[in-house]
Amino acid sequence: MLRPVKNDEQYEDALARVYQLMQKDLKPNSRKSDELEILSILIHEYEQVHYPVPTPNPLEAIKFRMEQMNMSEAELSDIIGYRSRKSEILSGKRKLSLSMIRKLAEKLNIPAEVLIQAY
């Protein structure tokens, strides 16, 4: 019977069981695939409380996403405007405007919650 994950020992056991289940060729909607899904939810909830991942700094997020997309700084200028503005933003001298945040969220697929943070 599945139970909530309440401590590190139960967390480790749940991770081990998920690993075992992921090694199998599970059929959709089977007992074992349901077990895998439920364990994943329980693990996720435990991790949210005990191992939270901090939200990245907006500038770090932009630079990271540019690197992932192999995007040049010139391409970033096309999104946010003038080259000088791009340099000021990446150096932290200028803050992102609402229109820039909207464009970056759309083009780079960075959540607006990340981009609107103070930095």
Q: Check whether 13 has a pLDDT greater than 80.
A: yes
Please give the Cα distance from 77 to 86 (Å, whole number): 6
Q: Which residues of 43-57 are buried (b: 16+ CB within 10 A; e: fewer)?
A: beebeeeeeeeeebe
pLDDT of residue 85: 84
Structure confidence at residue 82 as a pLDDT band (50, 70, 90): confident
- Tell me: do 45 and 86 sit in the same domain: no
Residue 1: inside a domain, yes or no?
no
pLDDT of residue 34: 96
- Tell me: do 63 and 111 sit in the same domain: yes
- Tell me: do 89 and 68 sit in the same domain: yes
Average pLDDT over residues 42-49: 97
Spacing of C-alpha 80 from chain mean position: 22
Please give the Cα distance from 17 to 9 (Å, whole number): 12
- 78: domain range? 58-115
> Average per-residue pLDDT in the chain?
94
Please give the Cα distance from 93 to 29 (Å, whole number): 53
Structural domains counted in the chain: 2
